[in-house]
A and B are shown apart, each in its own frame.
Chain A
Amino acid sequence: MTAPHPTATPADARRRGGGSWSLPLVLGGVALGGAVMLALRSPHVAGSYGFCPSALLGLACPGCGGLRGTYELVHGDVAAAWSYNPLVVLGAPVLLVLLARWFRDAVRGEVPWSPPTWAAVTVAVGLGVFWVLRNVPALSAHLGPLAIP
């Protein structure tokens, strides 16, 4: 017989049968609330969400243009969203699918899916590459908000 786990608690027992479905629901609600907030309060107005210190650096970090890009995405303009921040265009559907799958797994009582390590490393390396490339003057017109006044 396999030895019973000595520190198992009912919370652990609940967790092993699948996670809570409320957390993905809350995160989805936060995402929806953010989209509504962006639709109501445009990030195109300077200072509407504070100022980003990177404006003083003259460099674009990977998240620069993220709010404006999400604003355009919420309003259905994918091309404009890409010109502000391609990460938003690429990442938003991935995040929505992951949230939906997390919620489905939790409702079914299955263990939530965990992405493989190579995917995480690919995302991490891709972030670094994107960060460098969008600051290359020849490419920033395609990858970053710097070319947009």
Chain B
Amino acid sequence: MTMRIAAAALFLLALGAPAAPQAPKTPKEAAPIDLTGTWVSVVTEDWRWRMLIPKKGDYTSVPLSAEGRKVADTWDPSQSASDGCKAYGAAALMRVPGRLQIAWENDTTLRIDTDAGQQTRRLYFDKSQKPQPERTWQGNSAAEWEHITQPGGLGVSLQQGPGKPGALKVITTNLKAGYLRKNGVPYSDDTTMTEYFDRLSAYGTDWLTVFTIVEDPHYLNQPFITSTHFKREPNRSKWMPASCEAGSSSK
């Protein structure tokens, strides 16, 4: 028997007996990992740049272009109170020390609320969702569950396993220009952000990780790559809402 016939046999085996048609799972039902719950950032990295407001001109480790540096150097610390939510846009929000509340808003939308800055991100799995036209701090986020398989045609797929469930991949566009750091390190409104949300556990604690790639054709000369981690908390008892709106007393 030839290899081709063997492959066909296996293909049939894989298909199995015909089954009654089932409704496709919603993104909420299909979630390979549960991201919902309350998560707190644990600032073990970039502590001086996240827990304190860095000095003007300190853009250590951010791959700013010459244009980006020029803009960063115009930041005026005395006017920082009027910066409002510029440092709480999606491209920086996960790096701001604080807590996240993640929940399914509906079967196709995962919602992230933050206490720091009181921002809300909506991650839309429904590709038919029309993006809102105006630019916002949190932009438009298109989400999908990664399923890692070998791409390719028949010759490649012969050696393809069942694949692996992966992370939550989110691509965010339509952002309003803001700050990567509170000291005016800028990103422009042409910024695109790709994120991978994942779950892991170690030494008895659950963790959420967010791998972030920020691409900005104006102010960055290469993708700005960070990864940020959050520890699970049992409830919202430590939630400390603080608005980032200019003039807000809770800011």
Partners in one complex: no
Contacts from A to B (Cβ < 8 Å): none
